[in-house]
Amino acid sequence: MNQATLILVKPDGLKKSLTGNILTRLSETKLEIVASKMSRVSKQLAEEHYKHLKDKPFFKELIQYLQGELHDRRKVMALVYYGEDAITKCRQLAGATNPEEAESTSIRGSYGRITTAGVYENVIHVSSNPSEAEREIKLWFKPEEIIVDLYPAKDVIEEKRKTKGWI
Ligand code: IDP
Ligand code: MG
């Protein structure tokens, strides 16, 4: 079954110049990239993204981590991969959440670490099921930023929205 998954190259992945390695590993899946961008991560976005973990003792550090405050890289690379069994394929390549338990050849097993503050710095996020993927993709991307119609969308007339144009 065709699926979409959100991938984030987290700030430690960017700081360690791993974007190329990670995308090369993910290209083994032969999935299609249907959206990609660099994103600043507000506290609000980070907290919404990880809201299922808000009661965990590491939540505060996790939010700082995703915002790039631990790596002096205040951005992440966000992508949407699409195709047959996208979630399973990408999660398999990413490896287990705990980088020390992740298979050594997986992305997290190769590049992740546990900090002394106890955060799993595991270089990449991958949605873990279709409903989480839909929630996350809608959180990180607007319909017009995705080059296929993944989910139903409506026309919206935006009035008086301040935006930037080229001079
Ligand atoms: P996932 O990223 O493999 O889907 P989640 O349980 O959704 O795992 O956790 C989100 C992120 O929170 C992880 O990728 C990792 O960075 C961090 N994390 C999860 N569990 C722990 C933990 O027990 N200690 C420290 N950090 C954790
Ligand atoms: Mg998760």
Stretch 100-113: mean pLDDT, rounded? 98
pLDDT, residue 88, reads: 98
% of residues, the chain, pLDDT over 90? 95
pLDDT at 13: 98
Residues paired with 32 in a beta bridge: 82
Say which residues have a Cβ less than 8 Å from residue 36's Cβ, sequence separation at least 6: 77, 78, 79, 80
Tell which residue, 63, 73, 80, 66, has the closest CA to residue 133: 80
What is the structure's pLDDT at 16?
Answer: 97
**pLDDT at position 116 over 90:** no
Atom 1, ligand 1: which residue's CA is nearest? Answer: 97
Give yes or no for residue 117 having a pLDDT over 90. no
d(CA 38, CA 27): 19
Model confidence pLDDT, tens digit, residues 51-91: 999 999 999 999 999 999 999 999 999 999 999 999 999 99
Which residue is it, tokens 């993910």? 26
The reported pLDDT for the residue numbered 65 is 97
Average pLDDT over residues 9-33: 98
Residue 66, classified by CB atoms within 10 Å of its CB into exposed (0-12), middle (13-18) or buried (19+), is: buried
Mean pLDDT rounded to a whole number for the chain: 97
The pLDDT assigned to 118 comes to 84
Neighbours of ion ligand 2 (CB under 5 A): 128
Residue 157 C-alpha to ligand 2 middle, in angstroms? 34
- Which domains, and CATH codes, for the chain? 2-145 (3.30.70.141)
Per residue in 32-51, pLDDT (tens digit) is 999 999 999 999 999 999 99
Task: Report CA(122)–ligand 2 centroid distance (Å).
Answer: 11
Pocket test for ligand 1, best of 58, 88, 97, 126 (most atoms within 8 A of CB): 97
Other residues' Cβ atoms within 10 Å of the Cβ of residue 111? 21
Known catalytic residue: 125? yes
Q: What is the pLDDT of residue 107?
A: 98
